[in-house]
C-alpha cells in the first residue's frame, strides 16, 4: 500500500510551565489578557503533523511519502527522516522562507497554549499531487493533514479529479476555515480524522449533522483522549443505521507530553490498514503508538522496541491480537 502524507513541516519549541494556566486567568479581565509565563524548560524538537505521522509509519516498517513545504534549513531534518524510513523526495524547499515553527507551553495539568508561524508552509499550495503519485507508481491513500488551507483544498480537489483515495485530517485548521471550505475539504474522503471537539466543530460550521457527514465520507475516526477511539460508518444493512466500533487505549506508564499523540494514532491506524488488518486492529495499533508518544517529550523521540511494543499490546488487547501484529512489525 503506497501512502503519502501531506501537511505541515515544522520544528517544535516545547516549554513547561510548573503552574496552572487557569489560576493565572482573571474572569473579569479575559477581554484584555496580557500574560507572561516563566517556564522551567525548553525542548527544541522536530515536528509538523506530516513528518510526525510519517515518522510513526516508518517506525512501524512502512516507507511513507512526505508531501509539504520547508525552508533551506530543512537539511538536517530531512536526513533524520530519511534515516527513519521516510521518502522526502516530494518536499518543496522554499528559497525565501524558513521552515514553520510551533511554539507551545504546557502547564501542570497538561493544558497547552501554542502559536504557529507559517513560514515556508505557505508555499505548500504550489505542490501538485499528480507528479508525486507518478513518481512512486501511484498512491493508494493520501492523508491530507493540517497545512496551508489553500494547499489542503487544492490537494483534496486534485484527489477527487484523479481518483486518488484520500483521508481528511483538518485538525488545527478547522478554527480558521469557513463551513463551505470544510465541506469541500471532507467531501469524498475515505476517512475523516478528528478529536471529539473537532467533530462537533465540523458539524457546527458545516450545518451537517452526524448522519449527513457520514453520507459525504466513508468512515469517521474520532479520537477520545484517554478513552480511546470511536469509528463510525453507515450500516449498509440498515436504512439510516450506523455501525459504531469503540477501541480503548492502553494504560500509559507516565504522562510526559501530549504533543503529537494524535499524529501517532494516525500513523498506527494507517500502518494497520496498510498491513491489511481490519479497522479494529488498526485502531489498536494507533492507540498503542499514541501511548508511547504521551510517555515521551517530543513527537519523534520515542523508541519503538518490537518486544516491548508487543508485550504491552498483548496486555491491552490480548495475545491473539499481538500475534497478528507481530507478523507485520519488523525488528
Which range of 42-46, 107-111, 255-259, 262-266 scores highest in mean pLDDT? It is 262-266
pLDDT at 331: 64
Q: pLDDT grade, residue 84 (50/70/90)?
A: very high
Catalytic sites, residue numbers: 263
Determine the average pLDDT of the residues in 143-156.
Answer: 97
pLDDT at 110: 86
pLDDT at 135: 97
**Window from 205-209, 284-288, 297-301 with minimum mean pLDDT:** 297-301
User: How does pLDDT run across 211-261, given as a tens digit for each residue?
Assistant: 999 999 999 999 999 899 999 998 877 777 889 999 999 999 998 888 899
pLDDT of 144 above 80: yes
Summary mean pLDDT of the chain = 94
**Window from 102-106, 238-242, 324-328 with minimum mean pLDDT:** 238-242
Edge-to-edge strands, sheet with 10-16: 41-47, 10-16, 100-106, 112-117
Q: Which residues pair with 45 in a beta bridge?
A: 12
Give Rg (Cα) of the chain. 19
pLDDT at 237: 74
Please state the pTM of the whole predicted model. Answer: 0.89
pLDDT at 259: 83
Determine the average pLDDT of the residues in 284-301.
Answer: 93
Compute the distance between CA of residue 164 and CA of residue 133 in angstroms, rounded to an integer: 9
pLDDT at 27: 86
Amino acid at each position: 500500500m503506497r501512502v503519502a502524507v501531506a501537511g505541515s513541516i515544522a520544528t517544535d519549541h516545547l516549554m513547561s510551565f510548573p503552574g496552572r494556566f487557569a489560576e493565572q486567568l482573571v474572569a473579569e479581565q479575559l477581554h484584555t489578557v496580557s500574560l507572561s509565563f516563566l517556564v522551567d524548560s525548553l525542548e527544541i524538537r522536530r515536528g509538523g503533523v506530516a513528518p510526525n505521522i510519517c515518522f510513526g509509519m516508518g517506525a512501524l516498517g512502512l516507507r511513507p511519502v512526505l508531501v509539504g513545504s520547508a525552508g533551506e534549513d530543512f537539511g538536517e531534518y530531512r536526513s533524520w527522516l530519511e534515516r527513519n524510513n521516510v521518502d522526502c523526495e516530494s518536499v518543496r524547499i522554499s528559497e525565501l522562507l524558513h521552515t514553520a515553527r510551533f511554539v507551545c507551553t504546557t502547564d501542570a495539568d497538561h493544558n497547552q497554549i501554542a502559536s504557529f508561524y507559517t513560514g515556508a508552509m505557505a508555499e505548500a499550495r504550489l505542490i501538485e499531487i499528480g507528479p508525486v503519485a507518478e513518481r512512486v507508481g501511484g498512491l493508494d491513500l493520501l492523508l491530507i493533514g493540517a497545512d496551508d488551507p489553500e494547499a489542503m483544498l487544492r490537494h483534496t480537489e486534485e484527489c477527487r479529479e484523479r481518483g486518488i483515495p484520500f483521508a481528511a485530517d483538518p485538525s488545527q485548521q478547522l478554527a480558521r476555515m469557513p463551513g463551505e471550505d470544510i465541506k469541500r475539504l471532507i467531501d469524498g474522503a475515505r476517512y475523516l480524522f478528528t478529536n471529539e471537539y473537532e467533530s462537533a466543530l465540523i458539524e457546527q460550521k458545516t450545518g451537517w449533522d452526524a448522519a449527513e457527514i457520514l453520507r459525504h465520507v466513508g468512515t469517521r475516526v474520532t479520537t477520545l483522549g484517554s478513552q480511546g477511539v470511536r469509528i463510525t460508518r453507515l450500516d449498509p444493512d440498515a436504512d439510516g443505521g450506523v455501525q459504531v466500533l469503540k477501541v480503548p487505549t492502553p494504560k500509559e506508564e507516565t504522562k510526559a507530553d501530549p504533543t503529537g499523540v494524535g499524529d501517532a494514532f494516525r500513523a498506527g491506524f494507517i500502518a494497520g490498514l496498510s498491513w491489511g488488518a481490519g479497522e479494529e486492529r488498526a485502531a489498536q495499533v494507533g492507540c498503542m503508538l499514541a501511548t508511547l508518544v504521551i510517555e515521551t517529550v517530543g513527537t519523534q523521540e520515542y523508541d519503538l522496541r518490537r518486544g516491548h511494543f508487543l508485550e504491552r499490546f498483548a496486555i491491552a488487547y490480548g495475545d491473539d491480537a499481538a500475534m497478528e501484529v507481530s507478523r507485520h512489525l519488523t525488528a
